[in-house]
């Protein structure tokens, strides 16, 4: 069970999302592939600030809610695809704030974290590299972006792709690999101000999803000079820090998209109760009723999986295996729920009259980012083999 304070915050967030954010769902201020423009985000955030629900998972003074408490709040913020943007609980900022809070020095927190928590800035996390150039994707050890020391600066070169929100962000976290042990060795993370002339946005492709401002950019980093004190944590520890971010961040995606699927299911249930075919409401046709019943079961299982994994993270564990299990179970369940919602609503389900078709598209992409289903299953299989060997 989560706490009374989390229920109280989540209650306010839910009322805000339903009453204030949902009416914005048809606001035309979108970019060429449907993502909300920053002007729209800032307007909604102004309302969230007034209502006291901006960045609701980080308390005054900087304390973060526990993961189980965060789940209650983020599910509520996800009830609209615009809710996380309005409340500043969205990806990638929510995960970036978490990482900075855990690993950042006081100076880095003051400079880069505070504007994010205040909802004045957006950020980007730059790890993935173009597949057609043999860069890091599912396998981060294939990282090709390099960093090398030059005096009191690091010089970074490389290409990145699918970088959510890079267009329009003011804070960037870049992962690069130091070439030799003398300069730290291994993966390093850097905090940078954006935009920067040495970080060029080459392309922002149209993608299946449309909820994230700035889309998912492909970027060239060309001799970017970063002062040494803008390294996040220690040299060579980049993969470890990424892991600190990735487990809670993938669980946060589960929370937000569960909220969206709960709402999609409400819309589909309403449709099935109102709409008649063959002399009775759709809900009374077993084929439709069973789809909605299966949705309820999948929603409850997703809630339980999130709560269980959040509880593990709250013990201080990295929760690598647990978050893999939760990510696979929840993202696959959400895909089934969203698909059934579309089906129950017939032709209306594939139109943009409701958020159901968007939720279906968003959840499809979620089966890939923060680790594709197969990669999580593969890493779990490796763990099964390791545990089996250890037991011999």
Ligand X SMILES: Cc1cc2nc3c(=O)[nH]c(=O)nc-3n(C[C@H](O)[C@H](O)[C@H](O)COP(=O)(O)OP(=O)(O)OC[C@H]3O[C@@H](n4cnc5c(N)ncnc54)[C@H](O)[C@@H]3O)c2cc1C
- Which residues lie near ligand X (CB under 6 A)? 92, 125-128, 131, 137-138, 162-164, 207, 209, 216, 365, 368-369, 372, 374-375, 378
Distance, in Å, from the CA atom of 18 to the CA atom of 192, rounded to the nearest integer, reads 36
Choice between 73 and 163, CB closer to ligand X = 163
> Where do we find the tokens 């950019």?
217
Choice between 174 and 288, CB closer to ligand X = 174
Q: Are 54 and 121 in contact (CB under 8 A)?
A: no
Least CB distance from residue 171 to ligand X, whole Å? 13
Least CB distance from residue 349 to ligand X, whole Å? 22
Choice between 138 and 144, CB closer to ligand X = 138
Residue showing the smallest CB distance to ligand X in the complex: 137
Least CB distance from residue 114 to ligand X, whole Å? 22
Least CB distance from residue 361 to ligand X, whole Å? 10
Which residues does residue 155 pair with via DSSP β-bridges, in sequence order? 148, 225
Choice between 112 and 125, CB closer to ligand X = 125
Least CB distance from residue 280 to ligand X, whole Å? 41
Choice between 69 and 209, CB closer to ligand X = 209
Least CB distance from residue 285 to ligand X, whole Å? 36
Choice between 207 and 343, CB closer to ligand X = 207
Distance, in Å, from the CA atom of 243 to the CA atom of 337, rounded to the nearest integer, reads 29
Least CB distance from residue 291 to ligand X, whole Å? 27
> Where do we find the tokens 């308390």?
59
Residue 219, judged by CB atoms within 10 A of its CB (0-12, 13-18, 19+), counts as buried
117-139: burial string, b at 16+ Cβ within 10 Å, e else: bebebbbbbbbbbbeeeebbbee
Choice between 138 and 273, CB closer to ligand X = 138
Distance, in Å, from the CA atom of 287 to the CA atom of 343, rounded to the nearest integer, reads 11
Q: What's the half-sphere exposure (Cβ side, CA atoms, 13 Å) at 352?
A: 9
Least CB distance from residue 318 to ligand X, whole Å? 18
The string of DSSP letters for 19-81 reads IIIGGGGG---B-TTSPBPHHHHHHHHHHHHHHT-SSTTB-TTSPBPPHHHHHHHHHHHTTST
Least CB distance from residue 127 to ligand X, whole Å? 3
Distance, in Å, from the CA atom of 282 to the CA atom of 344, rounded to the nearest integer, reads 8
φ/ψ (deg, to 5) at 187:
-80, 140
Q: DSSP strand E in the chain: where?
A: 123-126, 146-150, 153-164, 171-178, 186-193, 199-203, 216-227, 276-277, 280-281
Choice between 164 and 295, CB closer to ligand X = 164
Distance, in Å, from the CA atom of 21 to the CA atom of 14, rounded to the nearest integer, reads 10
Choice between 92 and 233, CB closer to ligand X = 92
């Amino acid at each position: 069970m989560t706490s009374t304070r989390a229920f109280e915050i989540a209650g306010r967030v839910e009322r805000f999302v339903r009453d204030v954010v949902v009416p914005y769902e048809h606001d035309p201020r979108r970019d060429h592939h449907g993502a909300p423009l920053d002007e729209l985000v800032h307007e909604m955030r102004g309302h969230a600030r007034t209502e006291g629900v901006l960045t609701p998972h980080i308390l005054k003074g900087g304390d973060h809610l526990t993961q189980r408490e965060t789940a209650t709040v983020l599910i509520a913020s996800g009830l609209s695809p615009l809710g996380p943007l309005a409340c500043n609980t969205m990806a990638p900022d929510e995960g970036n704030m978490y990482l900075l809070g855990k690993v950042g020095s006081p100076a880095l927190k003051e400079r880069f974290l505070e504007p994010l928590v205040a909802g004045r800035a957006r950020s980007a996390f730059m790890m993935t590299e173009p597949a057609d150039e043999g860069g890091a994707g599912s396998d981060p050890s294939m990282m090709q972006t390099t960093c090398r020391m030059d005096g009191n600066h690091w010089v970074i070169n490389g290409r990145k792709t699918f970088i959510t929100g890079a267009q329009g962000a003011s804070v960037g976290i870049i992962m690069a690999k130091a070439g030799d042990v003398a300069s730290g060795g291994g993966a390093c993370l850097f905090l940078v101000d954006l935009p920067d002339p040495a970080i060029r946005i080459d392309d922002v492709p149209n993608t299946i999803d449309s909820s994230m401002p700035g889309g998912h950019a492909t970027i060239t980093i060309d001799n970017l000079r970063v002062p040494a004190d803008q390294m996040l944590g220690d040299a060579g520890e980049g993969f470890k820090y990424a892991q600190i971010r990735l487990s809670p961040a993938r669980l946060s995606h589960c929370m937000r998209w569960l909220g969206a699927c709960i709402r999609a299911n409400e819309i589909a249930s309403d449709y099935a109760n109102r709409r008649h075919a063959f002399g009775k409401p759709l809900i009374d046709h077993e084929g439709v009723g069973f789809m909605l019943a299966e949705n309820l079961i999948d929603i409850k299982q997703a809630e339980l999986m999130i709560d269980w994994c959040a509880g593990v993270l709250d013990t201080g564990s990295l929760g690598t295996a647990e978050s893999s299990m939760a990510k696979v179970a929840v993202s696959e369940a959400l895909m089934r729920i969203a698909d059934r919602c579309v089906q129950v609503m017939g032709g209306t389900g594939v139109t943009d009259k409701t958020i159901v078709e968007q939720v279906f598209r968003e959840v499809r992409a979620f089966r890939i980012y923060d680790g594709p289903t197969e990669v999580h299953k593969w890493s779990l299989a490796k763990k099964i083999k390791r545990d089996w060997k250890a037991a011999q």
